[in-house]
Amino acid sequence: MIGNPVDYDKKFKDNNFPIFPPKFDAELKRYINLLPGKEVLDLGIGQGRNSIPLAVSGFNVTGVDYSTKCLDICKNTCDKLNLIQGDIRTFPIDKNKYDLILSRCVLHFFHKNDSYQIINNIKNNLKTNGLVHIHVFSLEDPRYKKHANSPNFEVLDNNILHNVSEDTYVSFFTKEEVLDLFSDFKTIYISQEYSLDQRGDTPCYAGVIKYIGQKI
Ligand SMILES: C[S@@+](CC[C@H](N)C(=O)[O-])C[C@H]1O[C@@H](n2cnc3c(N)ncnc32)[C@H](O)[C@@H]1O
């Protein structure tokens, strides 16, 4: 493992902790019928954006997150989730248990060596015909240039930025890189989007790559 985990509990004070209500991603909803069974693992479940709608509709969901505040929000919103506090870089994924593994807006918060290792762990342990669903920052995300020009970050190879004082990393991906990482999977859905995120107090542009793949 390289560097510290991004710690939401320390990063956000109680009165500005971001609240992200459950909302089933349209692209995941569209392909949910492809799942061979009902077992779901959410790596970096946050506040249960997709996992709460999945649990409510009868899926058995296990969610892992580093943030106890996020896990408390999940627990208080839905009593059907199996929640585990931990760092997803060391979380052992049970082999051939899960029909769907989600890691949405999490895998960019690492040095790519760690992101790639988590992806390999997902790929090796997902059930055959199971789906993986990820969102990662694209290289077009304006935070890349903003951080790269900031004295707080050092710019490393392969579009990786190192926050020196916190010893955390943030990585930016290309669509080709995501397709290459899942070259042995069947691509069900991939998109690269650039949009204005209006959820917080300060609207900001976000660049994201969304991928759904099936283990064959
Ligand atoms: C932007 S939120 C996304 C949450 C959720 N997946 C969603 O789509 O709404 C990122 C989440 O990743 C979690 N996280 C970041 N690094 C982590 C790590 N090393 N291990 C476990 N969770 C981590 C954070 O605590 C946070 O809840």
Cα separation values, 9 from 164, 173, 193, Å: 19, 26, 28
Per-domain boundaries in the chain: 8-139+172-215
pLDDT along the chain (216 residues), means of 10: 92 78 94 98 97 97 96 96 98 98 97 98 98 97 95 97 97 98 98 87 89 98
Instruction: Please tell me the predicted confidence (pLDDT) of residue 184.
Output: 98
Counting ligand 1 atoms within 8 A of each CB, the residue from 62, 109, 143, 209 with the most, and so the one to mutate, is 109
Q: Supply the DSSP symbol for 4.
A: P
For ligand 1, atom 10, the nearest C-alpha belongs to 106
Q: Which CATH superfamily is domain 8-139+172-215 in?
A: Vaccinia Virus protein VP39 (3.40.50.150)
Instruction: Please tell me the predicted confidence (pLDDT) of residue 183.
Output: 98
In this structure, the number of other CB atoms found within 10 A of the CB of residue 54 comes to: 27
In this structure, the number of other CB atoms found within 10 A of the CB of residue 82 comes to: 13
Asked whether 185 and 213 are in contact (CB, 8 A), the reply is yes
pTM: 0.96
Residues near ligand 1 (Cβ within 6 A): 5-6, 8, 20, 44-46, 49, 64-67, 70, 87-89, 104-106, 109
Cα 188 to chain centroid, rounded: 18
SS3 10: helix
d(CA 8, CA 134): 20
d(CA 76, CA 30): 28
CA atoms within 13 A on the CB side of 110: 20
For ligand 1, atom 26, the nearest C-alpha belongs to 46
Nearest Cα neighbor of 93 from 45, 49, 43 is: 43
Instruction: Please tell me the predicted confidence (pLDDT) of residue 164.
Output: 96
Q: SS in 3 state form for 73-132?
A: HHHHHCCCCEEEECCCCCCCCCCCCCCEEEEECCCCCCCHHHHHHHHHHHHHHCCCCCEE
Instruction: Please tell me the predicted confidence (pLDDT) of residue 62.
Output: 98
Q: How far is the CA of 59 from the centre of ligand 1 (A)?
A: 21
Paired with 132 in beta bridges are 101, 213
Q: Strand 153-156 vs strand 160-163: parallel, antiparallel, or unpaired?
A: antiparallel
Q: How far is the CA of 156 from the centre of ligand 1 (A)?
A: 23
Counting ligand 1 atoms within 8 A of each CB, the residue from 1, 4, 6 with the most, and so the one to mutate, is 6
Q: How far is the CA of 15 from the centre of ligand 1 (A)?
A: 19
